Amino acid sequence: MPGLSALLGLSSGCARLGGEATSADLAGLADMAHDIRVAVLARDVDALLRYARRDIRNDPTLVEPLRPALREYMLATVREVFTTARDLRVHVEDLGRGDDGVRWARLVFYDRAVVPEAAFSHPDFLCEYDLTHAAAWTFQYVDGWESIGYPFDAFTDIHCPPGMAT
């Protein structure tokens, strides 16, 4: 039986990750990618919210006012990336450690038929592909992997900050 990496279509970029992240840390994130993919395809917003930042998960007042926009973002925009991809893959990107020592990483779900592997070597590749042929979600490792915010970094411009557009 093929391994989880083969079933998910994990990018070979996962093997290129260097530095201090352990393969177990990144494997945990890759395992989450499978659950996230299933939830997006099943249109299950609540399952995706389980991966949101803890304060968001624990405080309905942070989710409920935004739920309609969040549902639209995740289940229309993000789901469209998943369902229109000819060859949906997952790239686990090690973003290193912040000044506080916290490890950061990003899951990039992408259409390998459109996004070349070489694109991942450019820090601004998501400016070109985000929400058209790729959907990314940034995590930090604090007693396990936790989103830095809302699912798929909704309501932020973290993937292509102003001034970085190609």
Residue 160 lies in a domain: no
Residue 126, judged by CB atoms within 10 A of its CB (0-12, 13-18, 19+), counts as: buried
pLDDT of residue 28: 87
In angstroms, the CA 163 to CA 147 distance is 24
pLDDT of residue 136: 95
The model's pTM: 0.82
Residues 6+ apart with CB under 8 A from 129: 110, 114, 115, 119
Residue 13, judged by CB atoms within 10 A of its CB (0-12, 13-18, 19+), counts as: middle
Residue 159 lies in a domain: no
pLDDT of residue 8: 38
As given in the structure block, the two tokens for residue 149 are 């915010």
Per the structure, the count of domains in the chain is 1
Residue 38 lies in a domain: yes
Residue 17 lies in a domain: yes
Contact 82, 55 (CB under 8 A): no
pLDDT of residue 27: 84
pLDDT of residue 93: 92
Segment 99-103 long-range contacts (CB within 8 Å, at least 24 positions apart) = 102/140, 102/141, 102/142, 103/20, 103/21, 103/25, 103/140, 103/141
Instruction: Identify the CA nearest to 114 among candidates 86, 94, 141.
Output: 86
As given in the structure block, the two tokens for residue 163 are 């001034």
The domain containing residue 95 runs over which residues?
4-153
Going residue by residue through the chain, which has 166 residues, state the pLDDT in tens, using 9 for 90 and above. Answer: 333 333 334 443 333 333 344 567 788 898 899 999 999 999 999 999 999 988 988 898 988 988 899 899 988 899 999 999 999 999 999 999 899 999 999 999 999 999 999 999 988 899 999 889 999 999 999 888 999 989 999 888 888 877 765 5
Question: What torsion do the CA atoms of 2, 5, 10, 11 make, to the nearest 10 degrees?
Answer: -90
Residue 40 lies in a domain: yes
In angstroms, the CA 56 to CA 43 distance is 19
pLDDT of residue 161: 74
For residue 90, the SS3 value is strand
